[in-house]
Amino acid sequence: MRIAVVGTGSLGTVVGAMLTRGGLDVSMVDANQEHVAAMRQKGSKVVGRLDITQQVRAVTPEGMEGIYDLVIYLVKAFCDEQALPQVLPHLGEDSVLLTLQNGIPEEKVASFIGRERTLGGTVMWAAELLEPGVSRMTTDPDQMDYDIGELDGRVSERIRRVKSVLDHAGTAHITENLQGLRWTKLLLNVGGSGISTVLGVAGGEIFDHDKATDAVIHIMIETILTARALGVNMEPIRGVDMGVILDIARQDMGNLRDLLRNTASDFRDAKASMLQDLEKGLPCEVESINGYLAEMASKAGVPAPVNDQVTQMIREIQDGKRAYRFSNLDLLELPPLSIYF
């Protein structure tokens, strides 16, 4: 099986290295020429909670050759219009593309390459690209989980084959409810990653502060209520049902803070990918994450005032009108939970 990992940022650098280390035929594809050159010369280096250096085959999109049986797609959403047309000529009739992007990207991806070739999934671990060719794992290797599935929920032979590939870079689980899992991952991104980006900190500094944790909780509630209004059946998060989260919120915010801190304890060192991009002076995926929730909540008629504030702040940071700093927390207005229930 010929495999291309397209978009080798913080996560793709790790995935490509581990798949190659597992003996698979992998090409790592990225538009950043400096990053590609570093991987060619020194290998793909992973530090932090995983320590490996792996010689890899790394190319820019122009260097892709022939047909790939599997494309693992980790490109930033705002680059899809450029990246997907570059990938399309390298997809055969039986090729599949697995999008592991943030947000809810499957329909957009399918519009470029066809629904029959499109698979989706979520990544439930975190990393940070330190420099060209070097990614730092901020999650323990035994927590490197993926949830992958067909758009129609079938447990097909090809999704089983993709699972066997990803199992070389962690543990993949096949889902029959891809949309529900996508919204569960969106909940993590709009809440934890959104607040991380606005405050300019990693997860630990959020969860050590009550108001910051409460801001995450408000956005989580806004996400759950929006999904319900849209008819999406969200999957549990670390075994915790969404209805349980709402019930605890109604009863005791202190208990919900404790639950969130325990559930997300392995993300204490994780820094939002949006924040990583902004620190490098790059655009971020706010429109695919917090902006997407803002749009969906508005369509569904669900109040989402905290996410709306966070979305606006991230846009202002991206436009150079605001800095990411912890004092932004003072500007966030958290309404009483009664507005949701």
Per-residue pLDDT reduced to its tens digit, 267-303: 888 899 999 999 999 999 999 999 999 999 999 999 9
pLDDT confidence of residue 270: 87
Start-end of H helices in the chain: 10-21, 33-42, 80-87, 106-113, 157-166, 178-188, 194-199, 203-207, 210-229, 242-251, 253-263, 273-279, 290-300, 305-318
pLDDT more than 90, % of the chain = 96
Query: Residue 265 pLDDT more than 90?
Result: no
Q: Which of 134, 135, 136, 124 minimizes the C-alpha distance to 100?
A: 124
Q: 56-60, 163-167, 234-238, 325-329: which range is least confident on average?
A: 234-238
Residue 54 β-bridge partners: 44
Query: Residue 241 pLDDT more than 90?
Result: yes
DSSP string, 266-285: GGTT---HHHHHHHTT----
pLDDT confidence of residue 324: 97
Burial of 83 (0-12, 13-18, 19+ CB in 10 A): buried
Query: Residue 56 pLDDT more than 90?
Result: yes
Mean pLDDT of 52-79: 98
Instruction: Give Cβ neighbours of residue 22 (< 8 Å, ≥ 6 apart).
Output: 168, 169
Contact 7, 75 (CB under 8 A): yes
pLDDT more than 70, % of the chain = 100
Calculate the alpha carbon distances from 32 to 29, 35, 39, 61, 75 in Å: 9, 5, 11, 10, 11
- Please report where in the chains the tokens 């319900």 appear, as a residue: 228
25-29 and 2-6 strand pairing: parallel
Confidence of residue 263 (pLDDT cuts 50, 70, 90): confident
Mean pLDDT of 33-43: 98
* CATH class of segment(s) 180-339: mainly alpha
Query: Residue 73 pLDDT more than 90?
Result: yes
pLDDT confidence of residue 97: 98
The two three-digit tokens of residue 155, written as one number: 């447990």
Q: What's the CA gap between 234 and 241, in Å, rounded?
A: 8
Query: Long-range contacts: 204-207, Cβ < 8 Å, 24+?
Result: 204/268, 204/269, 205/326, 207/260, 207/261, 207/264, 207/268
Contact 293, 189 (CB under 8 A): no
Confidence of residue 332 (pLDDT cuts 50, 70, 90): very high
CATH number of 2-176: 3.40.50.720
Mean pLDDT of 215-241: 96
Query: Residue 192 pLDDT more than 90?
Result: yes
Per the confidence metrics, is the pTM higher than 0.85?
A: yes
118-123 and 44-48 strand pairing: unpaired
pLDDT confidence of residue 238: 85
* pLDDT tens per residue, range 123-173: 999 999 999 999 999 999 999 999 999 999 999 999 999 999 999 999 999
Confidence of residue 264 (pLDDT cuts 50, 70, 90): confident
Query: Residue 215 pLDDT more than 90?
Result: yes
Radius of gyration of the chain (CA): 19
Contact 111, 137 (CB under 8 A): no
Q: What is the dihedral of CA 242, 245, 251, 253, to 10 degrees?
A: -150
* pLDDT tens per residue, range 293-326: 999 999 999 999 999 999 999 999 999 999 999 9
- For the chain, the domains span 2-176, 180-339
